[in-house]
Amino acid sequence: MGHKVNPISARLGYTSQWKSRWFDAKNYGPNLLEDYKIRKLLEAELRKAAVERIEIERLLNSVVVAIHTARPGVIIGRGGAGVEALRQKIKKAIGRDIKLDILEVRNPEGSATVLAHQIVEQIERRMPFRRAIRGVMESASRSRVDGIKVEIAGRLNGAEIARREMFIKGSVPLHTLRHFIDFSKQTAFTTYGTIGVKVWVFRKGIQDGGGETPPNKK
């Protein structure tokens, strides 16, 4: 059944970690809604910034949002103007001030989210999907990834009938829960409709829930 569930949620607390870290029994609903608003706003504003993940941590009197990105300069802007503008937009959306941390992803070619964004960007620029996927898979192979799987669905290259295609290079053991699998799904918006892109990335050395931290999470 490993191929039918999100591989990250299936491994939470084992080889994957939660992206929101807080507990509040009395205000769980409002806090969850705040998290949703923050994530949706950042995903819309930073669609071209190669954001790998957004982590939200709630302390006693503050909210800390950490943005892990392959292009920190795009978010920070000149003199930090970009970060300040982003912080003000979030403050307006949720009605409270937050702290923003911008962290650079050390190995973007090994991140499923960054690779999925690269495929989406190239498809939206009307590059043939096979060429876009081939380039991304070669880039991932150079970063010592042990396996990558890409699935794409929709009206590929403007075809009249939607279809689904899958590309696999190396090993991607979805059924082995002790292995860390990075996963991402993104959507490309084209003139002939939306195209869904899913990427799975596997690296050896992360097993049995300990010993080594998953890629890009140290």
Read off the pLDDT of residues 15-46 as tens digits, 9 standing for 90 and up. Answer: 788 899 999 889 899 999 999 999 999 999 99
In our burial notation (b when 16+ CB lie closer than 10 A, e otherwise), range 89-110 reads ebeeebeeebebebeebeebbb
> What pLDDT is recorded for position 115?
94
> Residue 65 is which amino acid?
V
> What pLDDT is recorded for position 3?
52
pLDDT (average), residues 70-88: 90
d(CA 94, CA 207): 39
> What pLDDT is recorded for position 107?
85
In the predicted model, what is the mean pLDDT of the chain? 87
Q: Within a 13 Å sphere around the CA of 206, how many CA atoms are in the beta-carbon half?
A: 22
d(CA 71, CA 54): 14
Cβ of 184: how many Cβ atoms within 10 Å?
Answer: 20
**Every domain range in the chain assigned CATH 3.30.1140.32:** 108-202
In the 8-state DSSP scheme, what is residue 31?
A: H
Structure tokens at 153: 């669905």
Task: Name residue, tokens 């769980």.
Answer: 28
**SS3 of 155-172:** CHHHCCCCEEEEEEEECC
Note the pLDDT tens digit of each residue in 162-199: 999 999 999 998 888 888 889 999 999 999 999 999 99
Q: SS3 for 65? A: strand
CATH 3.30.1140.32 fits 108-202, yes or no: yes
Note the pLDDT tens digit of each residue in 103-151: 998 888 889 999 999 999 999 999 999 999 999 999 898 888 889 999 9
pLDDT (average), residues 52-57: 93
> What pLDDT is recorded for position 206?
55
> What pLDDT is recorded for position 178?
83
As assigned by CATH, the class of the 2-104 domain is alpha beta
> What are the E-state strand segments in the chain?
20-21, 51-58, 63-69, 99-104, 147-154, 163-170, 181-190, 193-202
pLDDT(218) > 60: no
pLDDT (average), residues 56-81: 90
Structure tokens at 130: 């096979």
> What pLDDT is recorded for position 191?
93
Measured between alpha carbons, how far is residue 78 from residues 50, 72, 100, 167 in Å?
Answer: 18, 11, 16, 40
Measured between alpha carbons, how far is residue 143 from residues 50, 73, 135, 161, 183 in Å?
Answer: 17, 22, 13, 35, 16
> What pLDDT is recorded for position 209?
41
Share of residues in the chain with pLDDT > 90 (%): 56
d(CA 13, CA 17): 6
Q: SS3 for 20? A: strand
pLDDT(213) > 80: no
pLDDT(160) > 90: yes
Angle 7-113-179 from CA coordinates, rounded to 5°: 35
pTM of the predicted model, to two decimals? 0.82
**Every domain range in the chain assigned CATH 3.30.300.20:** 2-104
